Amino acid sequence: MEDKYITPNEAIQIHELLTLKNLSLTKCVTMSPLVSDDELKRILKDDVATGKQHIKELSNLMEKSTIAQSQGL
């Protein structure tokens, strides 16, 4: 099977998504101790888990980019 690479434009878009997900994850983790409602705590906990998974997937995509290949990342 042929490896597919991410173009530079796609890499920039993935980087923007990665930045957004990191910011969202930081907010959730920071706000969690301040929340007293159990349901909201559960939602934040679920969002943290989902956010970590998304960051991992986006990071894996970035590794396939032509930019990462040319820089040896």
- Please give, one letter per residue, the 3-state secondary structure of 57-71: HHHHHHHCEHHHHHH
Give the chain's domain count: 1
Residue range 32-44, pLDDT digits in tens? 999 999 999 999 9
Is 2 within the bounds of a domain?
no
Is 25 within the bounds of a domain?
yes
Is 1 within the bounds of a domain?
no
Look at residue 3 in the predicted model and tell me its pLDDT.
56
Look at residue 71 in the predicted model and tell me its pLDDT.
59
Checking if the pLDDT of 62 tops 90, the result is: no
Is 24 within the bounds of a domain?
yes
Residue-range definition of the domain harbouring residue 31: 8-71
Look at residue 66 in the predicted model and tell me its pLDDT.
63
Q: How confident is the model at residue 1 (pLDDT cuts 50, 70, 90)?
A: very low
Is 56 within the bounds of a domain?
yes
Looking at the chain, the whole-number percentage of residues with pLDDT higher than 90 is 64
Is 58 within the bounds of a domain?
yes
